[in-house]
Amino acid sequence: MKRTDYISWDEYFMGIALLSAQRSKDSGTQVGACIVSQDNKILTVGYNGMPTGCDDDCMPWGREGGMLESKYAFVCHAELNAILNCERASLRGAKCYTTLFPCNECAKALIQSGVKEVIYLSDKYAETEGTIASKKMFNMVGVKLTPYVPTGRKLSLEL
């Protein structure tokens, strides 16, 4: 008899995004992204962190201070990292599962890459100009925006 208590595709992919976020060394915000094909194959993942080769121990992680004293000039967001990590597959028609609604810069990259749907867990910056700009661009080009509704399912992993 077939098992019936398996997780859904949405739970699986958002779970991968949440797990990816745990790789982030940012003490304030951990974001993960998982981009999947139309036939539910994982194409790429990413998390917010420093660019490859930049020693995270020598880079700023704080939110305060000028541009060069804070993380904002240096950190690569999860969605952009996922796009850049994808070496061979086309992202045309793909879906992006992300733990935080994409900023305007990541929105541009997702649109240019051909992503057609964004499923997001949190929209905590909904009132900021960057998020408003993201939504304007997504709506303009027909990218579907879907809030992820947590199921409350608990999974336990022993690593």
Q: What letter represents residue 81's amino acid?
A: N
Q: Determine which one of 11, 64, 69, 79 is catalytic.
A: 79
Is 79 marked active-site? yes
Residue closest to 112 by CA, chosen among 81, 138, 77:
138
- Report d(CA 104, CA 92) in Å as an integer: 19
SS3 130: helix
Sheet containing strand 95-100, edge to edge, reads 42-47, 32-36, 95-100, 117-122, 144-147
Tokens, residue 51? 């660019």
Report the catalytic residues. Answer: 79
